[in-house]
Amino acid sequence: MFASLAQAQSQSSTLSESVVRVSPLGEIIAQYPAMMSQGIREGLKQTGQVDPLIADTIGGIVGRAFSSADIRRQVIVDLDEGLNESQLQSVLDWYETPLGERITQAEVAASSPAAWQEIESKASSLMEKYKGTQRADLFAHFDRVSRATESTVDTAVAVQLGLASAMSAFNSQGPTYEQMKAEIENQRFMLRGVVEQQVYAAYLYTYEQFSIQELQQYIDFLETDAGSDYNCVVTNSIQQAILEPVDSIGSQLVRLLNPGGSRAQ
C-alpha cells in the first residue's frame, strides 16, 4: 500500500513539474526576482530620498531575497496537494493543444520588461481601438475567471511592502514598517482600480492576435474544475511565495545600512 502511495505521489509531482514547464508558469516565475528588484529600485529612486547607487544596491539585495527556484518548488508542491492526478493531466493536455501553446507564447512574451513598456505606451490607443467591442465586453468575464487583476494587485502590494521595508531600514526617523504596511493594505481597494486598467490594457495587448472564439475557449478551460483549481492554487501559491521574503528584507538592510543600530520591523 505504501509503495502504491509513493508511486502515486511521484506521478503527481512529475505531472506538476510538467504543468509548470509547459504552461506560462515556468517562464513567468523566472522573472519575479527581477520584477520585484526593479519595482523597488525604481520606487526608491522616485522618492528622491535615496542615493541612486544605494537604491541599486538595495535592488540587488531584494532580487536575491526572491528566489525563482524557491517559488517554482513551492508552486509544484502546492499543485501536488491542491489538484489530483486527473486534474493535473487535464491542465497539461490543454496547454499542449495548439491553442494552449499559443496562449503560453503570448503570455510569456507579454510578461517581459520590454513588453511592459510597450503595453504602457499603447494602453490608450488599444482601449480606444476596442471600445464597445465584443473583445472589450469579454474582459470582465476573463478577469473574473483568470483572477488577473487580483493577482496583479497582490504583486503590486508585495512590491510596495518591499519598498516600505527598505525605506523603514533606510530612514530611522520616518514611519515604522508596520505603520507603512497598514497604510498599504488600507489602500488596496484604491490600488485595485488603477491596476484593473493596467490589466485591461495588458489583456488587449496580449491576446490581440486571438479571435473571440479562441478567447472564449481559453475562458472555458479556466472555468473547468481542473482549470479553476489550477488557477486558484497557482495564484495563492505565488502570492505567498513573494510575500514571505518581504519581512526579511528590512532586517537585511538594517545590517547593511546601520550595522551599529537597530529598528523594529
* Domain range summary for the chain, segments of one domain joined by +: 8-257
pLDDT of 263 higher than 90: no
Find out whether 212 and 135 touch, Cβ atoms under 8 Å. Answer: yes
Find out whether 27 and 146 touch, Cβ atoms under 8 Å. Answer: no
Per-chain mean pLDDT for the chain: 83
What is the pLDDT confidence band of residue 254, given thresholds at 50, 70 and 90? low
Alpha-carbon torsion, ordered 64, 69, 72, 74, to 10 deg: -80
pTM above 0.85, yes or no: no
Closest to 90 measured CA to CA, from 225, 216, 217, 214: 225
Q: Under the phi-then-psi rule, with left for phi > 0, alpha for psi from -120 to 50, and beta for the rest, what region is 215?
A: alpha
pLDDT for position 4: 47
pLDDT digits (tens, 9 = 90+) for 94-106: 999 999 999 999 9
pLDDT of 265 higher than 50: no
- The mean pLDDT of 38-57, rounded to a whole number, is 69
Find out whether 230 and 87 touch, Cβ atoms under 8 Å. Answer: yes
pLDDT of 81 higher than 80: yes
pLDDT of 257 higher than 60: no
pLDDT digits (tens, 9 = 90+) for 179-233: 877 887 888 888 888 889 999 999 999 999 999 999 999 999 999 999 999 999 9
pLDDT for position 9: 47
